[in-house]
Structure 1
């Protein structure tokens, strides 16, 4: 169900547009991470603050490189359009577009992660 404007607004209640919804999400992130309005673009700061990097000296496999390339392509496309391909609230759809796999695959991976299933190096082998 789409979000509606808060009661403090004097306008009639109507569903928010994707742009208004995205603005609200950014505001919530600013509040969550105590970012001031002086920060020009909040989202990169939020994402970088909690990002985990790989250990120095580890090899990036060809499958990982392909995945990174897919994500970079999707981000470049969004940069050219100056907007997101999908709204922030549709995380599964965005992940599927970025990684070029089906939404069902993303959902299955999420379910496995919830159950605590770990993926090993052997999972990368040939079938």
Structure 2
């Protein structure tokens, strides 16, 4: 049976939410970029290895979650581009948070074939945001 769905985990957050049980880490801003560079370099290598082995050809659904994938900026765009180089998903979703999703990032993701952004908005009330440890 062919694998038809791919989940890619990006385990980085600007701040770990109090309620979160997902495997994610927060970094100081100066350390985040270096951590993202190392992670994505390894992620790209693994993705390319699976692609060369023809293990991704039947993928129809892609979900990039986290953490906060939108923190990766252009690296997330490159991830989507590389995934599309190995398969042609019909549905391609990336998670994002309001504090790290810009109009430019959304447009770049759409341009490389991301079909949906799952925007993490738990509340718009500042008191509730503080209580749950959210920063947007």
TM-score, L = length of structure 2: 0.24
Choose 1 or 2 for highest CA Rg: 1
TM-score by length of 1: 0.25
State the structure with bigger RCO (CA 8 A, min sep 6), 1 or 2. 2
